Amino acid sequence: MKNLVKLAFVGITTLILGLSITRVGAQARYDFAGVYDVRGTNPDGSKYSDVVAVTDYGDGYRVDYGEGETGIATDFGTSIGIASQDKGIATITLLKIINNSQLEGYWQDYSHPKEGTETWTQR
């Protein structure tokens, strides 16, 4: 139950952040649905890779990571905020488009005070 509360908090925080940053004027929405190759760096400097599938889910997206992690996401203009759990630990990821097929940004989970980085390349 605690993890569900944490995940809900992270999701609400992501939504509020997104709305406060980008809802100043009408913006074109990018379609984030697709499969992405992910390269990342953990807060300790170690590297990892994964495959992520992003599918439409109501007004937002469902995010399924290759390692079994799942999440929900909302977009705001050319950025996306993802609330997920990794082995039961609440995680938030914020990514922006850096070109037509690549996303770049940061993530942080509830168990670590530092951020990691990720780059997603659409297949």
The domain spanning residue 104 has which CATH number? 2.40.128.120
**Is pTM, for the whole model, over 0.85?**
no
Q: How far apart, in whole angstroms, are the C-alpha atoms of residue 109 and residue 18?
A: 18
The pLDDT score that the predictor gives to residue 93 is 96
Domains of the chain: total: 1
Neighbours of 46 (CB within 10 A): 9
Give pLDDT, residue 23. 46
Q: For residue 15, what are the domain limits?
A: 2-122
pLDDT digits (tens, 9 = 90+) for 58-102: 999 999 998 788 999 999 888 999 999 888 889 999 999 998 879
Predicted pLDDT of residue 12: 56
117's tokens: 């980085």
Residue pointed to by tokens 């530092």? 114
Question: Does residue 86 or residue 51 have the better pLDDT?
Answer: 51
